[in-house]
Structure 1
Amino acid sequence: MDTRERMLHAAADMLARGGRDAVSTRAVSAAAGVTAPTLYRLFGDKEGLLHALANYGFQQYLAEKQTAMTDDPVADLRSTWHVHVNFGLSHPAIYALMFGSTPSREGDRAGREALAMLRDIISRIAAHGRLRVSVDEATQLFYATGVGVTLMLIATPPADRDLDLATTALDHLLRATTTDAEPAARVPGVALRAVALREALRHDDQNDNTLTTNEQALLADWLDRLAAGNPTSSA
């Protein structure tokens, strides 16, 4: 373990035991057996240390969240949702630093990367024709709800926690955003196809040589309105 990693281990231990306020440059330096100038050289200041600590926690988060993907993106969304919540409950202090401080400096990377991972799964749901709203809307809904539920559970004393809340919230979101809980006859086919086509075009490199920039923007606007069930312009 090199000096930098030793200091991050010490800071993570202090964060877990006493929260953000317990992490001081003097205490971390002493616990890691280095001088204060070493910490300043490696991290700049306390905010730089917290930023590095959030990234350090994110590596742990990635290691736990990298579950094998299946052919069912909705099932993958369920499994990664529970991995996310369980990570927060297992590492409450580092989770709060990573997600509870957004959009602060230390929370930025964790938030961006987690959002990108979530969006990839939801894009697959759209490509399968099983998403009832736009990819962007679904991503924001799942991200905001997942982080909010996890932070609320962390803030609740363990004896009072309703661990079924996370599953209940997930079920509500899936019913609102996917077709899995709806009879096929009730699913608006045009809207679903618009969502799927919008996402397919987003990742189609050949489309760049077929449509002009203005045509791509116009088509994207039409597909977004069809996906939302609003084919008429509000202008």
Structure 2
Amino acid sequence: MAHSPTEIRAALLQAAEQLLVASEDSDVSTRAVCDRVGVGQPVLYRVFGDKQGLLDALAEVGLERYAARKVELEVTADPVADLRKGWTDHLVFASENPAIYRLMFSPRPGVALRARDGILELLKAALRRVAAAGALQHDLDESAAMILSANVGLAMNRLTQPAVYDSPRVSDALRDALFDRILIESPRGPGDVSTGVVARQLAARIETSSPPGLAAEESALLRLWLKRLSRSS
């Protein structure tokens, strides 16, 4: 039996995930979680506040697991290829962690959005590399929202109706249709590159550091202008 607060928290999360995996309705009871760990329900409420807090913490476990996968993925010199690889890896994560994936992305009243927001930020980081390479032709934030919506939608449908949605052709067709809309797959001549593409490329390159020779206020103003220009086609 776990004794320290850290051990008790970890044991409760492990029990909750085990029960969630075995559940037919994607739900767990706090009593069952506590019984499995060998503690009273007041202990769970002291650690997580309530059942919602327990489920939110379990969703955070999913985010940590997801982020760890992304760290392990090889980063190549081709950010577009890496983005494609990330699409596929997202689907693999869902298939390997179906219970916790549903918890992370199924709408729940009052649910904290930290796990989903964290995954969205990881996707934006990947898209900044694409933009810095001059290969993003659509607004970065909107592109991230579009990709995540499509990726999650397909993953959830695969979990509920695998016979219909599990074909690689479905995934490839959906990904390619979306990526054709937001990416520039092949280099263009200078006259073919839009103002928006150039603005997104420069914005991505100065994301983590101030441009040389500019004061902080000037850098902030430049980022604002680039943000506005990046919304042009």
TM-score (norm 1): 0.83
Query: What SS does the corresponding residue of 1:114 show, helix, strand or coil?
Result: helix
What residue is the counterpart of 1:84 in the other structure?
90
> Are the equivalent residues in 2 in contact too, given 1:19–1:93 (CA < 8 A)?
no
- Quote the residue 1:178 is aligned against: 183
Give runs of aligned pairs for residues 42-191 of structure 1, distance below 5 A.
Answer: 42-66=47-71, 67-101=73-107, 104-106=110-112, 108-156=113-161, 158-164=162-168, 165-180=170-185, 184=188, 188-191=192-195
Q: 1:144 to 1:187 in 2, by over 3 A?
A: farther
Q: Is the 8 A contact 2:130 2:136 kept in 1?
A: yes
Measured in 2, the distance between the counterparts of 1:32 and 1:17 equals 16
After superposition, the C-alpha distances for 1:148-202 in whole angstroms (9 at most, x for unaligned) are: 111121121x34433322222111122111111x573698313322321233344
Give unpaired runs (5+ residues) of structure 2: none
Sort the Cα spacing of 1:135 and 1:11 in 2 relative to 1 into closer, same or farther, 3 A: same
Distance 1:222 1:52 in 2: 37
Q: Could you list the per-position Cα deviations for residues 35-57 of structure 1 after superposition, in whole angstroms to 9, with x for gaps in the alignment?
A: 22221221121111111111122
Q: Match for 1:153: what amino acid?
A: R
8 Å contact kept, 1:25–1:36: yes
Displacement, 1:26? 0.6
Distance in 2 between the 1:78 and 1:150 partners?
15
1:30 maps to what in 2?
A: 35
1:186-228 deviation line (CA, Å, top 9, x unaligned): 9831332232123334444136517648853762365235xx2
Alignment partners' CA distance in 2, 1:147 and 1:7:
27
Residue of structure 2 in register with 1:233 after alignment? none
Q: Within 5 A, what are the aligned runs for 1:187-198?
A: 188-191=192-195, 192-198=197-203
Distance 1:140 1:131 in 2: 14
- 1:95 to partner: Cα distance: 0.6
Partners in 1 of 2:51 and 2:12 — Cα distance? 12
Compared with structure 1, are the counterparts of its residues 104 and 76 closer, same or farther at alpha carbon in structure 2 (3 Å cutoff)?
A: farther
1:42-94 per-residue CA deviation (whole Å, 9 max, x = no partner) reads: 11211111111111222222222321211111111111111111111221221
2:12 is aligned to 7
Mean CA deviation greater in 78-87 or 14-23: 14-23
Residues 1:141 and 1:187: Cα distance change in structure 2 (over 3 Å): farther
Q: Given residue 144 of structure 1, which amino acid in structure 2 is its aligned partner?
A: S
User: SS of the counterpart of 1:130?
Assistant: coil
Residues of 1 paired with 2:118 and 2:24: CA distance? 24
* Matched positions, count: 224
Q: Tell me the TM-score normalized by structure 2.
A: 0.84
Sequence identity (%): 33
